[in-house]
Amino acid sequence: MPNFKYKAINSEGKTVESVILAADQKVVLRQLQKLKMTPVSITIYNEKKKVRTSNKRVDVKSILMFTKQLFTLLKAGIPIVTCLKVIGEQSEEPGFKQMVGAITSDIEAGSKLSDALAQFPKAFPPLYVNSVRVGEVSGTLEDTLEQLGTFMEEDDKIRKAVKKALRYPSFVMVGLAGAFVVFTTLVIPNFMPLFEMSGQEMPFPTRVLMGFYYLFTDYGLLLAVGLAMLGMALAAYFKTPAGRYNLDLLRLKLPIMGKLVRKLNISRFAKLLYTMNSTGISILRSFEIIQDTMDNQVYKKEVEGIRDRVSMGESIAQAIKQSSYFDNLLIIMVNIGERSGSLDDMLGNVSEHYYREVGETVENLTSMIEPVVTVVLGIMMLFFALAIFLPMWGMINAF
């Protein structure tokens, strides 16, 4: 998709020149009309931009703080260069301070904020850069930064809540696996001579643990090599497009987590579409940005299909309806918004609804998983106890 350089007159009568990414000139014209600007000239812009890469990963918290500070300072009427210098001086992270310094230098040299941010794609994704670019053109940069900050804060809060909810069952499962290995390799061997001397047929739980003991002792090295090779093979497969897609599809089909993953992706889609649409980005470009931003490969492919159908003339609601991974509520709200001309309001309401629903699901996730984990833990403990005490009771009865 090419860049177009345009010259236009805004609502205040001022001449504005900028660059926008679009499919063709018609899209640029519609975008300028939406921003209430009169186009003067539109030409293809082929300047190649240097992209700066950094090996250091920029924390989401730092970008969120940067966004909030820049919004606050700009709203106070402080020039953007001074804002960036103040933000850079307050930062305690050397890598982030250096990045802000580079952005400040570019702006002092005549670059726009969006172009300066675009040189750091690991820190500022297309969603961020394109929103800032539209905010610069339309004169609503402060509002754009406020919306970006709200979106990033809510998105980060949900991610942290999900990780926190999954921490407990993860620890329990790892502990159970460790207990199984220790019990099989250290506890059972101490009782095996006594069980074998009795000459009785061992109960099923005891035979299972003894079987694992012989497997670990006789074929332990081979088993470890086999598991390591299997793990590397699965890791390599899940790095391929087909592997990532199948893994994400499996996550959607899990009994408890599948519903949460579905809600997470729908809420993210609704919030992204609301943010893009409210900042003035064209609908086709919005879907491209959403596709790049979605983590789940299944939803990434679905968004691509929605974009293709919209580009062929279908309404957004009709395009979404053809996907089986979106809820009826989203389709109904988008349909109402398109028909009434209040798509922004409808998207805002539905995105807030889904984020509240995800928050409630995450809060209840631990209470939903705890009974399952408790049952599994109880079964494992009962299995270990039966493996030891059933043979002993048999021996006592024989005597």
The domain ranges of the chain are 3-45, 60-124, 141-399
138, 35 in Cβ contact below 8 A? yes
State the Cα–Cα distance between residues 299 and 301, nearest whole angstrom: 5
Would 60-124 and 141-399 be classified into the same CATH topology? yes
Q: Does the 60-124 domain belong in CATH 1.25.40.10?
A: no
State the Cα–Cα distance between residues 158 and 362, nearest whole angstrom: 8
State the Cα–Cα distance between residues 330 and 207, nearest whole angstrom: 54
State the Cα–Cα distance between residues 385 and 176, nearest whole angstrom: 14
Question: Which CATH number applies to 141-399?
Answer: 1.20.81.30
- Coil, strand or helix at 327: coil
Res 175: pLDDT: 85
- Coil, strand or helix at 43: strand
Instruction: Tell me the average confidence (pLDDT) per consecutive run of 10 residues in the chain, 399 residues long.
Output: 72 73 75 80 63 60 90 89 90 85 86 87 83 77 86 82 78 84 82 73 83 84 91 92 92 84 86 79 84 87 93 92 90 90 84 82 75 84 84 70
Q: Is the pTM of this model over 0.85?
A: no
Res 56: pLDDT: 55
Res 55: pLDDT: 47
| Residue 340 CB partners (closer than 8 Å, separation 6+) | 346
Res 273: pLDDT: 86
